[in-house]
């Protein structure tokens, strides 16, 4: 069972910060077939929503300040933003951006777990988040890279109440029987300067073709298409500005 719509505690959105918005729109349009619309309200700062058909699937954020990360961020839906932010702090996490309102859409905060992996929180007030999950071109899996998995389990189960399905090789996160993400232990293969982080995966109809398309559009293949279990095939890519993300075969069970 996989999530097919945003639910409290689960991933509801992903957004990429890019210093070159025109190129980001071009790249992801070629890769996923996204159509983009920019919110023209001054207070939105050029925030752009990507669509598959008429359904919103992801956000693109223009970066203007020095030092802002060129990266994908995962957003989790919450029923009460202020309560959840309090849980984050009580469990040893930190608040990067205090709760604030997005007019006509909802309330937002940016936080980090005790190891520094950043993520966003969203309380919907008109905009639920992704209108499509686990279908080609949409978010379908989120993966935490952690140097201290045991500490991460304590934190995320305390904050969100996630179920934990752990094997010798991989840990999966779930809500009410639906696994939506996992966790990888950062071992010696990860350079010490790489911080713990969340990595979004987008569903595609053909992983190998998507990797080739990404390369042709100016991106980079960081992990070649690989079959991990059964029919599940994945790859990890990087866009032309440096933001990392994964793709996986739509319909394959994790």
Sorted by where each starts, the structural domains of the chain and their CATH numbers stand as 11-124 (3.10.180.10), 139-249 (3.10.180.10)
107 vs 84, 86, 121, 195, CA distance in Å? 12, 15, 8, 27
pTM attached to this predicted model: 0.95
Give the per-residue pLDDT at 3.
83
Q: Are 109 and 99 in contact (CB under 8 A)?
A: yes
pLDDT single digits (tens) 2-42: 788 899 999 999 999 999 999 999 999 999 999 999 987 77
Name the more confident of 85 and 253: 85
Beta-ladder partners of 6: none
| Residue 245 near residue 200, CB atoms below 8 Å | yes
On whether the CB atoms of residues 163 and 175 are closer than 8 A, the answer is: yes
Which residue shows structure tokens 């802002």? 68
Closest Cα to residue 47, out of 27, 69, 24, 78? 24
Over range 141-147, report the average pLDDT.
Answer: 97
Q: Looking at residue 103, what is its pLDDT?
A: 85
Q: Looking at residue 126, what is its pLDDT?
A: 94
- The residue that leads in pLDDT, 1 or 253, is 253
User: Mean pLDDT over residues 72-81, rounded?
Assistant: 98
**Residue 83 host element (H or E):** helix 81-90
pLDDT at 1: 57
How far apart are alpha carbons 60 and 25 in whole angstroms?
8
pLDDT confidence band for 252 (50 / 70 / 90): confident
CB atoms within 10 A of CB 148: 15
Structure-token pair, residue 132: 């499509």
What pLDDT is attached to residue 39? 81
For the segment 94-113, the average pLDDT, to the nearest whole number, is 95
């Amino acid at each position: 069972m996989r999530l097919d719509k945003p639910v409290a505690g689960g991933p509801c959105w992903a957004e990429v910060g890019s210093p070159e918005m025109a190129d980001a729109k071009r790249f992801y349009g070629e890769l996923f077939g996204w159509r983009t619309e920019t919110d023209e309200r001054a207070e939105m700062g050029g925030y752009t929503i990507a669509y598959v058909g008429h359904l919103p699937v992801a956000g693109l954020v223009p970066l203007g300040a020095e030092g802002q990360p060129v990266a994908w961020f995962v957003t989790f839906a919450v029923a009460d933003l202020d309560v959840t932010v309090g849980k984050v702090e009580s469990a040893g996490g930190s608040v990067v951006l205090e709760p604030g309102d997005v007019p006509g859409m909802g309330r937002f905060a940016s936080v980090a777990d005790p190891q520094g992996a950043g993520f966003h929180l969203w309380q919907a007030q008109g905009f639920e988040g992704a209108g499509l999950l686990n279908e080609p071109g949409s978010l379908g899996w989120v993966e935490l890279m952690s140097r201290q998995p045991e500490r991460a389990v304590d934190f995320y189960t305390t904050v969100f109440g996630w179920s934990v399905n752990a094997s010798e090789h991989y840990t999966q996160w779930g809500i009410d029987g639906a696994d939506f993400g996992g966790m990888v232990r950062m071992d010696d293969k990860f350079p010490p300067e790489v911080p713990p982080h969340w990595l979004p995966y987008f569903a595609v109809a053909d992983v190998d073709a998507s990797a080739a398309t990404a390369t042709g559009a100016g991106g980079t293949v960081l992990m070649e298409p690989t079959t991990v279990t059964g029919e599940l095939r994945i790859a990890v890519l990087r866009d032309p500005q440096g933001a990392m993300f994964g793709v996986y075969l739509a319909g394959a069970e994790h």
